Structures are given as structure tokens and as C-alpha cells.
Amino acid sequence: MSGVSKIAIVTGGGTGVGRAIARALGAAGYTVVISGRRADVLEKAAAELGKETGADYLAVTADVGDPVSVRGLFDTVSEKYGRLDLLVNNAGINVPNVPIEEQSFEDWNAIVAANLTGAFLCSQQAFRLMKAQTPQGGRIINNGSISASTPRPNTAPYTATKHAITGLTKSAALDGRNFDIACGQIDIGNAASDMTTKISKGVLQANGTLAAEATIDPAHVADAVVYMASLPLNANVLTMTVMATKMPFVGRG
């Protein structure tokens, strides 16, 4: 990337897939703002990623489920950099996999706030900033997960939020057309992270058995995000699936 660095926000950027995405974007020439709820994790990640890539990283603590906190994140970016070129809505959580009738209301609310409300609030603020800036426009990439199309057993809250992300992605892609705001979604299957540790050891399958599943390096996901982000704003990857080839997703059983 030549010229002035483009500005990116990666939510949940201090660990796991988010950190891999932040690293790849920095290596591609972006100035990257990483957000999350734990200041110590973010500050450490920003320092380490800066040394690894030579790029500029800014750690901003934010709770994506809180509209005031999200507004503060985007105000910080606007005041410091004057614009936003890319938002990666990556932040999310999971809750224990239990039958739907045993799912607590508290866990339901928590996962909806982090996975769905957070992506909406960040997209809302991104639209406001991208519409107002000169040149107008930008790109939003949502972390959909393979659960955006196909559930695992006993994952109603997580699956519901990820299906909803697909609707949010399509709505944002439509509403952004006239303002050069492109919105796409990356559906990730078994990228190795703290959230997927148990997958490589054995996880419940639809037929009731337990089976270990293949995983992939999150760097492959990050490379895909960089490709999506590299397109001119008149081109968009609406959906992309990046998955472990041998995971039990395609086919029956």
C-alpha cells in the first residue's frame, strides 16, 4: 500500500483471530486500532504487533455491547485520524453448549450483546463516519462464522446471532451502496484460537458422537480479510468461507 496509511478498526483485536487480522492488516500497510474490553491485553498486543510489523497500532478499550463505549471508540478514531477506511467486526463470545430449554436468559442476553448488538453499534458508527468523511466511503467486514449457515448441536444463542450477522451484512451492503460503503462477511471454520481449543480434542457431532476436528492457522483467515480489504470500493466480497478442509461441514454426518 502506497501513500498515507489507511485506518482500520479491528474489534476483539487483542487475541485469537482478531489479533491475526490486526497483524496482517498492519503488515499490509494499515494503521490499526484494536479494541476490546481488557486494556492490559490490548496494550501488550499493540506493542508486540508494532514490533512485528513496523506498523502503527492504537489500543482503545471498548465494550461493543455498550453504545456509549462504542461511540467513544469511534470518536477517538475520528479525532486522531480524521477518517476510517475499514471496520472489522470480529468481537464475539460463546456460551456453554446446552440444550435450548436449559439455556439461561442471562447467557442469551450476553451473547446477543457481544455478537450481534456489538456489530450493529460499530457498523452504525462506521456509517456515520464514512458518510461524513472526504473522500466518502469505506469498508466493513463482519465475522460471520460457519454458524451463520449451519449450527452445531446445542448452540441456539450463538447460531442465532451469527445467522443475524448475515442479515446485518446484507442490509449494510445495500444501505451503503450510494455512499461507497462496501460490506462483506467472512465465515470462518475452525480457525485455531482459545475459543476452538476443544474442537481439536473432541466436540459433539450432529449424530451424537464426539469427534476431534481439523483446525487451521488463523493467519489464513487474516490473509483472506486483507484480500477483501484490498479491493476498490466498487468491488465487494459479499461472503467468503475459509475453513479447515477436513472439518465435518460439507456433506452429511
Query: Once rounded to an integer, what is the mean pLDDT over residues 211-217?
Result: 92
CB atoms within 10 A of CB 26: 24
How big is the CA angle at 7 (ends 131 and 196), to the nearest 5 degrees?
A: 105
d(CA 176, CA 85): 13
Query: Once rounded to an integer, what is the mean pLDDT over residues 183-205?
Result: 87
Which class is 7-243 in CATH?
alpha beta
- pLDDT at 88 (0 to 100): 98
158 belongs to the catalytic site: yes
Query: Once rounded to an integer, what is the mean pLDDT over residues 101-110?
Result: 97
- pLDDT at 197 (0 to 100): 75
Query: Once rounded to an integer, what is the mean pLDDT over residues 187-197?
Result: 84
- Catalytically annotated residue among 30, 57, 81, 158: 158
* Residue (of 3, 156, 180, 14) closest to 91 by Cα position: 14
- pLDDT at 2 (0 to 100): 43
Q: What is the DSSP string of the chain?
A: --SSPPEEEEETTTSHHHHHHHHHHHHTT-EEEEEES-HHHHHHHHHHHHHHH---EEEEE--TT-HHHHHHHHHHHHHHHS---EEEE----------GGG--HHHHHHHHIIIIIHHHHHHHHHHHHHHHSSS--EEEEEE--GGGTSPPTT-HHHHHHHHHHHHHHHHHHHHTGGGTEEEEEEEEE-B-SGGGGGGGT-EE-TTS-EE----B-HHHHHHHHHHHHHS-TT----EEEEE-TTSTTSS--
Cell digits for 225?
A: 480479510
173 phi and psi, to 5 degrees?
-60, -40
- pLDDT at 199 (0 to 100): 85
Query: Once rounded to an integer, what is the mean pLDDT over residues 193-209?
Result: 83
Query: Once rounded to an integer, what is the mean pLDDT over residues 70-76?
Result: 98
Map out the domains of the chain as residue ranges: 7-243
pLDDT at residue 196 tops 80: no
Name the percent of the chain lying above pLDDT 70: 98
Q: How many alpha carbons fall within 13 Å on the CB side of residue 168?
A: 26
Residue 6 pLDDT class (50, 70, 90 cuts): very high
What pTM value is reported for the model? Answer: 0.95
pLDDT at residue 234 tops 90: yes
pLDDT at residue 200 tops 90: no
- pLDDT at 241 (0 to 100): 97
Q: Per residue in 120-130, pLDDT tens?
A: 999 999 999 99
Residue 1 pLDDT class (50, 70, 90 cuts): very low
* Residue (of 14, 120, 22, 137) closest to 84 by Cα position: 137
